[in-house]
Amino acid sequence: MNIVNLFFDTNQIVLQEDIACQYSEVDYISYMEKVGSNRELSIFDEKLLTKKVDLLLAQFNASDDISIKEKIDEYGKQEDLGFFLIQYITFKEPEYFIMSLPGKETMFERLLRIKNTCKTLKEYNCGIVAIRKNNEIESFFYYGSRKKTGKKAGKKFFRSVFVNYTEEKWQADNLRYELMTLPYSDGPVFERLVQQILKTCFAKVYKEGVELKTQVTNLSKTDRRDIQITNRPKCSNDFLNQLRSRDNVDILLFDAKNYREELVQTDMTRFKSYLDNNTHFGNLGIIVTRMGITEKAKVWRNEQWLHSNKKIIVLTDKELMKMLQLYGEGEDATVVIEDKYYEIISEM
């Protein structure tokens, strides 16, 4: 396998013993010195284009070598490297790539800009795996395999590279990546993604497994519910057991809304009618949306909670991300719903 390494610490991943990288950070420094003065970044060092590339390794946080850092900063390390990667992937189209980035919000934004700018990246199946320390993302890997390679072959390759990465973390981080990159207003895709997230996060809560149904209509065909999860008795979560025994929540009702703006009261009244019309939902329902709800909608929700005993919990991207993080760490992800429940009570 032919590998090009640009500022990548290969101790972070596991490569076969007989694999040797063709290039190192020195090659990139030489390249920057060659073109940095006139800023003609479309000119490539010919050595970096001569051989077939199977795997491109790159990282945005450069070497710890101070002299190298200073030299790169002189030429605008971050922007130049991002542009260089776009060009390199476009010209060479490696079978696989792995990029290492620090776990900062700005790097997520930069990554998305690169993805949207580089048309070639659309020909790759991409994903993210995150490295956490003290519950914070310390760094993450952005990886991709060409679509013609096939999803199964790509997954098999990356699972061999990230050999110490658990199946749960792998699954959670890929769902986080899909949520991060999902456009607003695409309702059906968001709904399917929420289904996957809920099915994943509830997978180990019920002894008999999670029973999740979608697009369920009532007998009169007047209501269509997005997602339902049967709140079975053999459950390891005390809060869900309490909902069933105290509030008669035999079925957990979810509604998915992929809106760019905050939800308003009228968005919630229809959902409340589902609770009014079916006793098996008890007095609780959960709306999953991207941006939360307006202050007026919060007032209305609190009034329903206090005076009609109809409790509506709203989960945003932030809560979904937290649920996936807990799942990836082997914890009970549904505690996020419990925390949100008591957070609403404390604000009344």
Q: Residue 111 CA to chain centroid, in angstroms?
A: 13
pLDDT, residue 170, reads 86
pLDDT-wise least confident of 132-136, 182-186, 198-202, 249-253: 132-136
Average pLDDT score, the chain: 80
- The residues that bridge with 5 in the sheet, in sequence order, are 57
For the chain, domain boundaries: 3-165, 188-346
Confidence check: pLDDT of 24 > 80: no
Q: What does the pLDDT read at residue 292?
A: 92
Alpha helices, H only, 261-316: 265-277, 295-303
> By mean pLDDT, which of 4-18, 168-182, 191-205 is the weakest?
4-18
pLDDT grade for 204, boundaries at 50, 70 and 90: confident
- SS3 for 161? helix
For residue 263, pLDDT beyond 60: yes
Looking at residue 21, its pLDDT comes to 61
Could you read off the pLDDT of 334-348 as tens digits, one per residue?
A: 999 999 999 999 987
Q: Above pLDDT 70, what percent of the chain?
A: 78
Confidence of residue 37 (pLDDT cuts 50, 70, 90): very low
pLDDT over threshold 50, residue 40: no
- What is the pLDDT, as a whole number, of residue 166? 84
Structure confidence by residue, pLDDT tens digits, 41-75: 444 455 556 667 888 887 765 434 334 344 344 44
**Is-contact 249 283, C-beta < 8 A?**
yes
> pLDDT value at position 221?
61
Condensed to tens digits (0 to 9), the pLDDT of residues 273-306 reads: 888 888 889 999 999 999 999 999 999 999 999 9
Would you state the CATH architecture of domain 188-346? 3-Layer(aba) Sandwich (3.40)
Gap between the Cα atoms of 289 and 319, Å rounded: 10
Q: Say what the pLDDT of residue 20 is.
A: 60
Residue 105, SS3? helix
Least trusted range by pLDDT, from 160-164, 209-213, 312-316: 160-164
Band of pLDDT at residue 96, cut at 50, 70 and 90: very high
Angle between helix 105-117 and helix 167-181 axes, rounded to 10 deg: 70
What are the residue ranges of helices labelled H in the chain? 25-35, 66-74, 77-92, 105-117, 151-161, 167-181, 187-201, 238-247, 265-277, 295-303, 317-328, 335-346
Mean pLDDT along residues 255-267? 91
